[in-house]
Chains A and B, each alone.
Chain A
Amino acid sequence: MGFTLVVIIRWQLAYPGSPVPYIGSLFGTANAPGGIVLPEFYNQLGAMHGTIMVFLGVVPLAVGAFGNYLIPLQIGAPDMAFPRLNLASYWFYLAGGTVMLASFFVPGGAANNGWTSYPPLSDLAPGTGQTWWLVGMAFLINSSLLGALNFITTVVQLRAPGMTWFRLPFFVWAQFITAFLLLLAFPPLEGAAILQGMDRLAGTSFFLPSGLAVSGRPLGVAGGGSALLWQHLFWFLAHPEVYVLILPAMGIVAEIVTNNTRKPLWGYRVMVYSLFALGFLSFIVWAHHMFLTGMGTAVSAFFQTTTMIVSIPSVVILSSLILSLHGGSIRFTTPMLFALAFIPMFGIGGLTGLPLGLATTDIPLHDTAYVVGHFHYLVAPGTIFALFAGIYHWFPRLTGRMMNDTLGRIHFAGSLVCMNVIFMPMFVQGLAGVNRRLWDGGAEYAHAQGVLSLNVPMSIAAFALAFFQLFFIVNLFASLKAGRQAAANPWSATTLEWQAATSSLRVYRNPYEYSVPGASADFLPQHLPADA
């Protein structure tokens, strides 16, 4: 869904003002007369693409689906600690998702103020789309809260005997920290959503300063509010949120890397400590999204410094993953390919975060395509690749069948190439000064002319990317029906999710005991008492 929106966005960016082929007529004349995307519809697409991908796509998949399924299995718990809360969380999610998607059809269309919903724009937006967005967010926030609470309690309380903290698989650690981020960062956004809802419905002016005049007429509100207040509340959530998007992905990648190098994770403990550091620090960097809102030296120095420091745990985790490869016996399975690609792709995304994190270099780059490139490298060939890796890896556990390797490899190669063709030119455009969220991709501006032609290959690659996803979808459904029967532990893994469940489960060793010197097999599952 989020992806369909993006395909339209990319069409519009490559060929501004020309009709979208084939599906253009589906949007109705209010949005796209003659199939031509109007600016208001473009902005709806942008805002909803961001919202859907983040809150309806990656969070529920990476946290909701993978977390819920794997955490109890990996720690040897009979179930999640609060099965009924889990159900409630799911219903909240469904309600939130429905509200979000339905909002496209309300008069005036869906929210079109960016996923960041900055007021006054969002406060004053006509139509009900923005209000539905707030309602949808409230549902999604509560859904995540309940889920997070459940995760933490499960990990603390329901570990199998012998599953000490430092025998937890890294994936569980990543989910555990993620849950804390969700638990503590989401409520302020809920608070902010309540305030914005009051502004929109009860006529308050929390985010509306005095003396506003819209379309040449003074706005009849009490004023006295602060537009920056929203930005603080929003980013206080949204920075930890971006780590919510990446930590589970790192967890998945770590599992798959050790399994396919057949050796323990290098620096496991340091990686865990890094997760803690990351989780904690992510709460004190939020204003790096607001350098250009007018910040003095002291405040900006503080947030620049915390931003630089928060990059170090990521460097540690990524370095450990790379060093884990050294000395391994690497199997290039399909999940491993995606997991390996994650590493340099995250590297590009993360490294391009550095110039954004320095206030001085953020001046030319803020709100340009460079930022869009930065975070897409982290979430698309980053998180999405990790999710694909996870699906290929755990599919046999879930269904008892293997996914097709050839299709998987085509999917991998196609996606890797297309993703880079889409997102790499964004850095070029951004450095040239092209802004984001432009309906015509910057065609008006003289400084954009030199890099405008890049939009065409980028968009073609996006369509090709869509095409390569067909290999995945076909593979998924075909393997479900007719995939090769999988052995109980097809990847010869050590962690508990692959071991036959027994009621008297006990854990005897660290999570990744591969290639232990002197052992008879090259892997020692966590629950076997001695080297059998």
Chain B
Amino acid sequence: MLQWLGLPAAASAHAGDVDRTLALVHWLMLVLFAGWGLFFLYVLVRFHRRAHPVASYHGLRGRWSTWLEGGVLAAEIALLAFFSIPVWSARVDAFPPERGSTVVRVVAEQFAWNVHYPGPDGRFGRTDISLLGPANPLGLDRTDPAARDDVTTINQLHLPVDRPVIVYLSSKDMVHSFTLPQMRVKQDVVPGVAQPVWFTPTRTGAWEIACSQLCGLGHYRMRGFYTIETQAAYDAWLAEEAAELAQ
């Protein structure tokens, strides 16, 4: 079923759970649709006026529609209780500790993703909207000691593989939606709401960040790039960025 659905490559630890649930729902849908569809076609042929000139007043008897409806409900409850709610709860409640994770901020704006790494000190520098400028889209206060080593990029998100990632999302202006299709991550970024998401990439690769909420004229091209690489490659990249910063 999964290949058949044609989802993007799955490259995060929880992607399998999401995909399995998706496949199961589609099985349920397929069974219901095929079952009813066949019955539907059968009655259309069998009770065509020519085949059945006089209708029966009572029609079908028996309670099996109740069974059917109960069955659908039971299947839905099972999907809810055993798949959807647990997977969801793991997404939003079971955040990994920051210590063992890669922590990064992403600030959305029309029409770009600003990425902010805390640098070696592990602390994000102060930001202030009054400092915003073309060269400083985050409004980062470089005089803050915590900000000195912070690395920032635009539309380029690099992450190491096999290590939990926590992304602190926020938006400067509109509602955007931070989407990493291959991570099975999508999170609306609502201005005024600080919103963390987490996931664990399990495969290296280079893919795209998409924006899923209409955020204005450039919504269609609010595209970023993200790269999942080995820890070594990631460290090298960060060092390179930091070196550039030092100049």
Contacts and interface: CB of A to CB of B under 8 A. Distances in A.
Contacts of A296: 92-93
Interface in A263-287: 263-264, 266-267
A212 B173 contact: yes
B192 interface: yes
B104 interface: no
A344 B34 CA distance: 10
A318 B40 CA distance: 11
A106 interface: no
Interface in A244-295: 261-264, 266-267, 290, 292-295
A264 B61 CA distance: 13
B57 A517 contact: yes
Interface stretch (A27-35, A89-97, A428-436, A468-476): A428-436
Question: In this complex, which of A211, A323, A433, A447 has the most chain B Cβ atoms within 10 angstroms of its Cβ?
Answer: A433
Interface string A418-454: 0000000000100111010111101011110011000
Interface stretch (A66-74, A301-309, A498-506): A301-309
A216 B137 contact: yes
B59 A294 contact: no
A354 B92 contact: no
Contacts of B22: 355, 361, 364
Contacts of B243: none
B53 interface: yes
B3 to A, nearest CB: 11
A263 B190 contact: no
A487 interface: no
B217 A361 contact: no
Interface residues of A, number: 101
A515 B57 contact: yes
Contacts of A368: 212
Contact of A364 (B7, B47, B91, B174): B7
A532 interface: no
Nearest to A517: B57
Contacts of A325: 40, 43-44, 47
Contacts of B221: 440, 444
Contacts of A367: 177, 186, 212-213
A111 to B, nearest CB: 12
B192 A431 contact: no
B232 interface: no
A351 B32 contact: yes
B55 to A, nearest CB: 4
Contact of B212 (A39, A354, A435, A439): A435
Contact of B130 (A218, A264, A354, A447): A218
Interface string A157-191: 00000000000000000000000000000000000
Nearest to B72: A315
A367 B109 CA distance: 19
Given A330-B49, A364-B186, 5 more contacts: A124-B173, A329-B52, A351-B29, A360-B17, A522-B54
12 contacts: A120-B173, A263-B57, A293-B188, A305-B80, A316-B69, A326-B47, A348-B33, A358-B83, A364-B7, A366-B186, A431-B5, A435-B211
Interface of A: 39-40, 43, 113-114, 118, 120-121, 124, 208-219, 225-228, 261-264, 266-267, 290, 292-297, 300-301, 304-305, 308-309, 311-312, 315-316, 318-320, 322-332, 340, 343-344, 347-348, 351-352, 354-355, 358-361, 363-364, 366-368, 428, 431-433, 435, 437-440, 442, 444-447, 450-451, 514-517, 522
4 closest A-B pairs by beta carbon, nearest first, are A209-B192, A327-B56, A327-B59, A358-B84
